[in-house]
Amino acid sequence: MKPVSICAWWWLVVLVLGLGPEAQAATDNLNPTGSMEYGVFRSDSLGRDVPYAVSLPPSYATSPERRYPLVIFLHGMFNDERDWEARGVQAALDAARAKGQVGDFIVAIPRGENSFYINAKQGDRYEDAIVRDFLPFVEKRYRTLGTRQGRLIAGISMGGYGALLIAFKHPSLFAGVAAHCAAIFTEVPRPPQSADDRIGLWRYGLATKLYGDPPDAEFFEAHSPLAVARARADAIRTLNIYFDVGSEDRYRFDIGNQRLHETLDAVRVPHEFTLATGGHGWAFLVARSEAAFGFCWRTLAPSVSPGSAKSRRK
């Protein structure tokens, strides 16, 4: 009789004893480096093919019957799907896995151009592209759990805004949302009073592209995470909510994030908010990666059946 290998013996222990998510994470982390794939998906909402990236966990290639929780991640302005890897976020996720802080999940990143991921007043329908096109594509193409409990949406800057808005408008699709230095406006941007007000000029120019020229106040409210949170407080209480922002955010989005924190407190929606030392952008996310990925895993881990090495679609 041939001796049983250590690897085979360990998986036998996992299956027999019914180890929970923490133990599952430990086995995942024996080889913590994930892999990246790049491709395109067809978006009927946009009428064209759209590039995307996907981060596959290290066990994906070796466990062909296993299904995984899913994070949809939305990038920021003037970025694209390749920045997840290029800016060090994938490396930070690998590091968190290596430390046993998170288990295995898939991350899918669609290209969002500079859309803010909304159905623009006059322009592309990016919210529909994410909800109606990209999410179904990912769940057909990759081995996801395909359940609300196994899905989370996250994003940075413009993508943080998009993640919050989409989660608040579609809470039945996601177990949670995570946003980093989200680009939240507290009111409709108005024309700046001075040509020296560069941030004011930038904000107003962006608002005219998103909310109409001049910006339509009613349309703005319908796409404000602050207003949607107030209007849909009962529905979004089902979400796990996390957001953080730098105290030195160069666009002053710390003000909008603080206002969202106050708004959620006022309508009694539980959430995690951190005003952290730092600026705006990818370096801030990488610095906060342990807390960010820890939140993602705490939200998604219950979707992985305790003791199951092969979580299946329900």
Give pLDDT, residue 195. 83
Q: Per the structure block, which two tokens stand in for 90? A: 């994938």
**What number of CA atoms fall less than 13 Å from residue 188's CA on the CB side?**
17
Given this model, what pLDDT does residue 60 score? Answer: 97
Does this model's pTM top 0.85?
Answer: yes
CATH number listed for the domain at residues 6-184+239-303: 3.40.50.1820
Half-sphere exposure of 43 (CA within 13 A, CB side): 24
Looking from the CA of 212 toward its CB, the CA atoms found within 13 Å total: 12
Sheet with 48-56: strands ordered across: 35-43, 48-56, 106-110, 70-74, 151-156, 176-180, 240-246, 272-276
* Predicted local distance difference test score (pLDDT) of residue 30: 52
User: 11 — phi, psi (to 5°)?
Assistant: -65, -30
Q: Which 8-state DSSP code applies to residue 239?
A: S
Q: What is the pLDDT of residue 117?
A: 98
Range(s) within the chain of domains with CATH label 3.40.50.1820: 6-184+239-303
314 residues of the chain, pLDDT tens digit each: 444 443 343 333 333 333 444 444 544 555 567 899 999 999 999 999 999 999 999 999 999 999 999 999 999 999 999 999 999 999 999 999 999 999 999 999 999 999 999 998 888 999 999 999 999 999 999 999 999 999 999 999 999 999 999 999 999 999 999 999 999 999 998 888 888 888 888 889 888 888 988 999 999 999 999 999 999 999 999 999 999 999 999 999 999 999 999 999 999 999 999 999 999 999 999 999 999 999 999 999 999 965 443 444 43
Residues 241 and 177: beta-carbon distance below 8 Å = yes
Letter string b/e over residues 156-171, b meaning 16 or more CB atoms within 10 A of that residue's CB: bbbbbbbbbbbbbbeb
Task: State the pLDDT at residue 9.
Answer: 38
